[in-house]
Structure 1
Amino acid sequence: MILVRVDDYVYKRVEEIVDESRELSMTKSECIYALLKVFFGVNKPPKDFEKIRELTIKMRKGLL
């Protein structure tokens, strides 16, 4: 199990996606898991590592 803290924007987007997917009875955990599966599916090693580093640097600089 991984617990993460997210900003208001990410929280609201996940809430919106879950709310708009009522017919699936999607949970927030399923939504986030699907997003991560897609990210890692598109960005194979070592590209995934490089992309995570790039996004982390941008996030810390307030560019994301």
Structure 2
Amino acid sequence: MTASGGLVLPDPDRRAPGRGAHLHPSIECFDLAVRRKAFPRAFKVPGPLDVTGLRDYVAQRDK
């Protein structure tokens, strides 16, 4: 996954420019990362990030 313009986006090919982060493709890991506010820390950005697109992607992969 990668962060761009305040959004956290899936990057399954690991080719997007910039800082990337890894997340297990399960809803449990995603929810834990949100509760711990791990996304801003992983991408070293101040403030909250929109993770709705990533949540949808993880939900589809977790089925």
Whichever structure has more strand as a proportion of its residues is 2
TM-score range for the pair, normalised by the shorter chain length:
under 0.3
- Normalising by structure 2, we get a TM-score of 0.25
Q: Name the larger-Rg structure.
A: 1
What TM-score, normalized by structure 1, do the two folds share? 0.25
Q: Which has the higher contact order (CA 8 A, sep 6+)?
A: 2
